[in-house]
Each structure stands twice: as C-alpha cells, then as structure tokens.
Amino acid sequence: MNLMIPAQPMPFEALTPDAYRQLEHAASLKGLLKPFKGKGELDHLAQVAREIEAQLCHLMEAVVQQAGQPPYSLLDIRLVLQNTSAGSTFLRWRTRDFARMGVAVWERQVRNKTQPQAVREGLHRFECNRIALNLQMSVVHSLYRQASTCAIKMASAERLLRQFTTAAEISR
C-alpha cells in the first residue's frame, strides 16, 4: 500500500517519569520481602498487583492511542491491546487486516526503504515502549498469580491447623 506519509510525523510523547509516578509508589518491593503473617497480607499483595496492572493498562492505552495517530495510522500496521486467557493484557503489532501479528510485522515497516526516517524512529520508540510495558505487565501479573495462589495455600494450612486443634481439644 503506497500512502503519502508526511515527512515529519506528530511529535511522539514518550512515557515520562510522570506517567509512572503513581506506579512507582505502589510498586515498591519493600512490602514483598517480609514474613507474611497470614492470608490477608497475601490477598492485599494480590490486590495491589491488580491495581498496578490496571494502571499499566492505562499507559498501554495511551501508547496505542498515539500509535493510532497520523502518520502511523496510515501504515499497514497497528499496535493493539491483546487480552490473554490468563487475564492480563499485552501490546501486539498487527497488520491492518489482522492477518499477521508479531514483531515481524513491525520489522517489515521499519525495513521499508520508502518510510521517512522520522516514521522509522517513531516506530522504534513505540516498539521500545511495547517491550518495556509488556515486561512490566508480565512481572506484575506473575506477582498477582503467585500472591493469590499463596493466599489460598495459606488459608488451607490455617484451616487444617484449626481443624486439628479443635479435634484435639474435643478428645481431651
């Protein structure tokens, strides 16, 4: 598809430290590296991870919105949000007709010699944001899953102890 792409695309607004400011405070690992006293603390950790996932989704949506502006919207490529069966969201490159997906789609656009250099550089910045946000989402989602699983296991251990303690008291 041969479209007229302006030589100077809209200025790309990078994800700045301000965009991450709220996440920075919520995502401290200080609360992770401690002895957990019960299911409640693990449930809280899982809840915090879920909240961070939601905030990461908002950042992803902002990147998708920028990638949907000209001149990028004129290309045969889209940056889209993909929800997974595991319950998380990732950024993926797709062709306009959704026939192909993945980094190869992005690479083909960057390698296209007819693309202005400014467009290539913009695509590069989108790809770097995509990589970083997907990493962050993966780590936070894994933390959520682990905290949730551990909360269930801890609750089970507490139930078993209560049952044994109650049975021992009755037999006295």
Task: Map out the domains of the chain as residue ranges.
Answer: 38-170
Mean per-residue pLDDT of the chain: 86
pLDDT at 51 over 80: yes
pLDDT of residue 7: 47
pLDDT of residue 5: 44
pLDDT band at 118 (very low <50, low <70, confident <90, very high): very high
Q: What is the pTM of this model?
A: 0.80
Contact 105, 93 (CB under 8 A): yes
**73/75 Cα distance (integer angstroms):** 6
pLDDT of residue 150: 95
21-36: per-residue pLDDT in tens?
665 555 565 667 777 8
**48/140 Cα distance (integer angstroms):** 9
- Arithmetic mean of pLDDT, 143-171: 88
Percent of the chain with pLDDT over 70: 80
pLDDT of residue 163: 87
Percent of the chain with pLDDT over 90: 69
**101/128 Cα distance (integer angstroms):** 17
- Arithmetic mean of pLDDT, 59-65: 96
Residue with tokens 């001149």: 71
pLDDT at 142 over 60: yes
The set of residues, in sequence order, having a beta carbon less than 8 Å from that of 133 and lying 6+ positions away, is 15, 56, 59, 60, 63, 91
pLDDT of residue 61: 96
pLDDT band at 14 (very low <50, low <70, confident <90, very high): low
**72/6 Cα distance (integer angstroms):** 10
**53/157 Cα distance (integer angstroms):** 29
